[in-house]
Amino acid sequence: MTTKVLIAEPEPTSDDDLERQLEGDGFEVVRSGEVEALDTRRRPSLVLVGDPEAVDACRSWDADVPVIVVGDERSEPGDRLKAFEHGCDDYVAPPFDYEELLARIRAVLRRSNPGDPDLVEAGEIAIDRRTRRVTVAGDPVELSGKEYALLVKLASDPGRVFTKEELLRDVWGYQSPGRTRTLDSHASRLRRKLVADGRGPFVINIWGVGYRLLE
């Protein structure tokens, strides 16, 4: 899954070097001058801001989003302390090179996302990531590779409706899904394998939108 980085700037800039470098390292870069106006459903993994006081806007929009303040030639000696007082996760003081910023971004992301748990539980479903073993009410269920990957994705937030575009992108790697029955056929097989002895419902189709795992 692509890691989304928001560059929050009060004014547009013609300097696209940072954006190009981040995209070259596999990040999805979004630019915005108004953090509060963003859709919380499209939460970035990390926000870069240039003004220590902009951290407050980030926190009011999403209290948990990691924020790095990136200083520039106008930064003052007290800006580092001010940034941490406002609650930033890191501060990069000028002069710095891109590799330093990249290392700090990755370090903050590791701290804020320590990794998925080995055991994922959703209702009666249990997924052991170490062994790829899936059980429903204690009974083992044999799944194909893509069925397992689809289940893990749905179980990451079992009550949420994942759109078909999200699932095709994150499970199959489709960038432009177009017309395909791949998701529907896998979801149907996964549903049949999970349901037994009246259990469920599991893998619920929300017509025209996507799927969720549990009611």
Give residue 103's domain range: 3-112
60, 37: one domain: yes
Q: 7-21, 93-107, 138-152, 182-196 — which is least confidently predicted?
A: 7-21
Residues 104 and 143 grouped into a single domain = no
pLDDT band at 191 (very low <50, low <70, confident <90, very high): very high
Q: What is the pLDDT of residue 54?
A: 86
For 68-117, how does the pLDDT look when each residue is reduced to its tens digit (9 = 90+)? 999 877 777 788 888 888 889 999 987 888 888 988 998 888 887 766 56
Kindly state whether residues 77 and 136 are assigned to the same domain. Answer: no
How many domains does the structure of the chain reveal? 2
pLDDT for the residue numbered 33: 60
H or E element at residue 152: helix 145-155
Quick one: which of 50, 34, 40, 45 has its CA closest to 2?
45
The Cα–Cα gap between 79 and 70 comes to: 10
pLDDT category at 175 given cuts 50, 70, 90 is low
Instruction: For residue 210, report the phi and psi dihedrals to the nearest 5 degrees.
Output: 170, -140
Last residue of a domain, one of 46, 81, 112: 112
Q: What is the pLDDT of residue 8?
A: 82
What's the pTM? 0.52
Give the pLDDT score at 206: 92
CATH of the domain at 108: 3.40.50.2300
